[in-house]
Amino acid sequence: MSSTILVAGGAGYIGSVTAQLLIDAGHRVLVVDDLSRGHRAAVPQGAELTCARVGDVQAISELLRSNRVDSVFHFCAHSLVGESMRDPALYYENNLIQGKLLLDAMIAADVKHMIFSSTCAIFGLPQSVPILEDDPMRPANPYGETKYAFERMLHWYHEVYGLNYTALRYFNACGATATHGEHHDPETHLIPLVLFTAMGKREQIEIYGTDYETRDGTCVRDYIHVLDLAAAHLTAFEQCRDRVAYYNLGNGAGFTVREVIDAARRVTGRPIQVHEGPRRAGDPPVLVGGTEKINRELGWSPEHTELDQIIESAWRWHSAHPDGYPG
Ligand code: NAD
Ligand code: UDP
């Protein structure tokens, strides 16, 4: 059955891929995005864009009401750990206060379901890996803290106002589709930066730390393909609308920084110069998610799990869009 879904942040990386998947599945998609960090050209054809902040309660509640929206997929956030350490006020304002106003608009318009883009950063330095859903949460930076606080807010909006929600805690989103890819400005993520090096846009990739207690001394991360993330949203929408749910979304496997660089050399056939630098402050050595819960309860498991396959999809997109999205 076709539903109407508001994709908040649908001009961004993960939101635009999810919006496309929703359209392909026959849903009507409205996008709200202030284009502060997104791209008009990333909004899929067939989605109706409203350029506004999610915290504009009047505009958003009117949009929700007049379009009889069934659910809000909430991707809007600032998500740079380093920036959040320099400017926590920005993160509290955009991720928590704006998000709270979005929830208020939903309650005002009687829209009672949200899928929220949470993050593994809510766990902080893990005590054990893989990280499970109910492991201790001790966010180590304002970015993770605002996401954690938003999950708690969702809890109370459920208890008191009857809002149902699914919180999806992504690990490291990566990869591209034939039409949509990753374009952040500034780009700080490992895979695009490695590919920029292969393209000659950068001279070298700096490895942040080679003395970790891991199999090759570099950090291990759980790289999850953006299409798998998008598919998990559809699965959660189909199965969890009448309740509260929360899941970790990872690939189930971890890869080191050196493994990512080696895979990129294989895929691109280009040499990639490396500079071995010091550790980046606040980087946990290993972040890998356990995804048994969502597999067991909803039957979701990631399909694009091979590192070469993930990097190949990103390479195709960056090669076709060397400057990212226009505008
Ligand atoms: P992105 O920056 O590409 O997309 C976010 C979009 O939201 C942008 O288009 C931006 O313009 C918009 N936006 C931000 N604040 C807004 C506001 N107040 N009003 C209206 N629009 C606003 O980010 P992404 O990489 O696609 O991440 C999407 C979500 O997933 C974020 O919430 C992020 O915290 C979370 N997440 C991402 C990753 C990752 O690896 N990329 C990992 C874990 C969690
Ligand atoms: N990293 C790196 N060099 C870079 C960017 C990232 O060595 O130029 C490492 C980083 O220390 C982390 C991993 O690559 O261990 C993934 O970093 P990214 O910023 O992509 O995601 P994060 O795990 O920080 O969310």
Query: Each residue of 56-79: pLDDT tens digit?
Result: 999 999 999 999 999 999 999 999
Q: What percent of the chain has pLDDT over 70?
A: 100
Look up the pTM and report it: 0.98
Taken as a whole, the chain contains a residue count of 327
Nearest to 226 by CA among 267, 268, 179, 290: 179
Q: Are 43 and 19 in contact (CB under 8 A)?
A: yes
**79 CA: nearest ligand 1 atom:** 34
For atom 39 of ligand 1, which residue has the closest CA?
Answer: 173
Burial of 99 (0-12, 13-18, 19+ CB in 10 A): buried
Q: What percent of the chain has pLDDT over 90?
A: 97
The residues annotated with a catalytic role in the active site are: 143
Q: Are 5 and 237 in contact (CB under 8 A)?
A: yes
Which residue has 């998947």 as its token pair? 21
Cα–Cα distance for residue pair 70/6, rounded to 1 Å? 8
**94 CA: nearest ligand 1 atom:** 18
Vertex 242, ends 240 and 247: CA angle to 5°? 30
pLDDT in tens, 205-237: 999 999 999 999 999 999 999 999 999 999 999
**194 CA: nearest ligand 2 atom:** 8
pLDDT in tens, 261-306: 999 999 999 999 999 999 998 889 999 999 999 999 999 999 999 9
For atom 6 of ligand 2, which residue has the closest CA?
Answer: 190
Ligand 2 centroid to Cα of residue 189, in Å, is 6
DSSP 255-320: EEHHHHHHHHHHHH-S---EEEEPPPTT--SEE-B--HHHHHHH----S---HHHHHHHHHHHHHH
Q: In the predicted model, what is the mean pLDDT of residues 141-157? A: 97
pLDDT in tens, 106-116: 999 999 999 99
Q: What share of the chain is helix, strand, coil (3-state, %, to 5)?
A: 40, 20, 40
